[in-house]
Chains A and B, each alone.
Chain A
Amino acid sequence: MAPFLVFTGLFLILPTLYIVVGAFRATDGGFTLQHIAGLNTPAIRNAYWVSIRISFWSALFGCAIGLGMAAAVIHGGLPGRLRGPLMTFSGVASNFAGIALAFAFIATLGPAGLVTLWLRTEFGVNLRAYGFNLLSTTGLIITYLFFQIPLMILIIAPALDGLKREWREAAETLGASTFQYVRMVALPILFPSILGCFALLFANAFGAVATAIALTGSSLNIAPILLFAQIRGDVLGSPGLGYALALGMVVIAGVANALSIWLRTRSEKWLR
């Protein structure tokens, strides 16, 4: 046990505590709420707000599409052979985040990307004229979906497997259509699971820094990029404010994760 406690204490717990404590420590060493209050500036509020919006939408679409794909393969009557490859691919894609992912989307939807050029030459559709820009919140959401959807597929599949055949047969015996079965049986049972996955996807997107930096440089004002700039060069002009900014990220990610764990444990009651 000793090596584990020393290791996690020194390289996980203490560094985090240092940041948390720093957010409440005045320059003279006393307690202060000034740094937390200092977060309430237009620039920082905006950074958090954009981050939350990106995480929210990418989690929402990630949940919907991931659930749809997983349900299609598990319950939708698609050949069972598709399942293995889909799961393997999901494992790969959910880990294919970071800088390289941004490159892939720049090569596809960027100004000189494959799809952009193709739409322009074949259909005369100029994406830019429609206001589309990969280096924006919309672009970031589309890019994040590349790891959000597979993550959803991986974590929702066990819950979908837990839906018992008997429930569907019972519903059909009582004359329910597929739609009624989904709306009145399957979705209510899955709902806590889905919400839990949503919270997890939210936290996942909220902490993603590398993809955003590679995609937008530092032009987009989101919380992790602001924190990155603050750590590199104290752009906020106050170390205490940097700690408070980091604390805010820990709190948001922590709440999302706690919700996710609570909801998913609750749903297991039904799906065993």
Chain B
Amino acid sequence: MTRFLAWAMFLFGVAYFALPLFGMTEFSLRMRRGVYSLDAYRVVLGDPQFQATFAYSTVMALLTIVVGVLVVVPTAYWVRLYLPRLRPVVEFITLLPLVIPPIVIVFGYLRLFNTSSWLPLTGTAAGTNLLLLMGYATLSLPYMYRAVDNGLRTIDVRTLTEAAQSLGAGWATILARVILPNVLVAVLSGAFLTFAIVIGEFVMAALLNRPAFGPYLQLMGANKAYEPAALAVIAFVVTWVCMGLISLVTRFQKFTPAPR
């Protein structure tokens, strides 16, 4: 009886998830009347605007990862080693982007950094790009911080630092050549998740008026029939690849927790 209910529940869920995925795939193949074809994909992939926006968002995602690593790794390391009492505060701050809706954060950007403010970032394209990049880094902060902090938990930070110091290494060397390689798997997990989030992000890019993939998707959705389905399939595949890479790198991790 229990098992029957369990199977029923599970299969109901599977059906709910499978239908939209099947639906969008089937719809994306229907562009040519009467037969299944890859026409929608051909049109989408050949669209210069698709190429431009997808490239823009890819570059943005990669830069976000770089900024995230530069901000998070030294902070998590420093807190763990010297300021354990500040931990709750730092953890609280890193969780804030999950609490404050992104639309409110970007609303603040538009007011705080407008053309008549002390730091007029929205005045130029480069400035707005920078602002969007910082916005994305903020969005990724909770995931990045948690991943890196978990990574640091599995290594003996203090011993590694002292060993490196006694060999004459400076802070930059310790972080880049001792700590980072040791938490690389954690950093990569955070990085792939960040990539998945940034690539299709809509609200920030739309309100900052940048030519990113998210606003392009919305534009296509409002004007086309079959292309959006093909784009949804592509977006889903990208998300899936990112998650797949996370479990792949985690599996390759040589798991040797430090003695406490």
Indicate whether A and B interact. Answer: yes
Contact count band on A: 35 or more
Neighbouring B residues of A4 by C-beta, 8 Å: 71-72, 74-75, 90
Checking A93, A232, A253 against B101 with a beta-carbon cut-off of 8 angstroms, the contacting residue is A253
Q: Does A104 contact B (CB under 8 A)?
A: yes
Q: Which of B24-32, B49-57, B159-167 contacts A (4 or more CB under 8 A)?
A: B24-32
Q: Which listed residue, B16, B21, B97, B201, touches A104 by the CB 8 Å rule?
A: B21
A206, A207, A253: residue with the most chain B Cβ atoms closer than 10 Å? A207
Do the beta carbons of A231 and B103 come within 8 Å of each other?
Answer: yes
Note all chain B residues with C-beta closer than 8 A to A209.
101-103, 202-203
A249 to B100, CA, bound (A): 8
- B62-81 CB mask vs A (1 if < 8 Å, else 0) is 00000000111011001100
Are A95 and B197 neighbours in the complex by a CB distance under 8 Å? Answer: yes
**Cβ-defined contact, A99 with B202, below 8 A:** yes
Would you list which residues of chain B between 114 and 150 have a CB under 8 Å from chain A?
134-135, 137-138, 141
User: What sequence of 0s and 1s flags, for each residue 62-99 of chain A, a beta carbon within 8 Å of any chain B beta carbon?
Assistant: 00010011011100111000100000110111011011
Q: Contact flags (1/0) for A108-144 with B, using CB distance below 8 Å?
A: 1100111100000000000000000000000000000
Interchain CA distance A3-B77 in the complex, whole Å: 13
8 closest residue pairs by CB, A with B: A15-B108, A76-B6, A108-B23, A107-B27, A100-B235, A207-B101, A72-B6, A103-B232
Residues of B with Cβ closer than 8 Å to A? 1-3, 5-7, 9-10, 12-13, 16-17, 19-24, 26-28, 70-72, 74-75, 78-79, 83, 86, 90, 93-94, 96-112, 134-135, 137-138, 141, 193, 196-197, 200-203, 207, 214, 217-218, 221-222, 225, 228-229, 231-232, 235-236, 239-240, 242-244, 246-247
* Selected A-B contacts with CB under 8 Å, 14 pairs: A3-B70, A4-B75, A11-B138, A16-B108, A65-B16, A71-B6, A96-B239, A103-B229, A178-B2, A209-B102, A214-B221, A228-B103, A228-B203, A242-B107
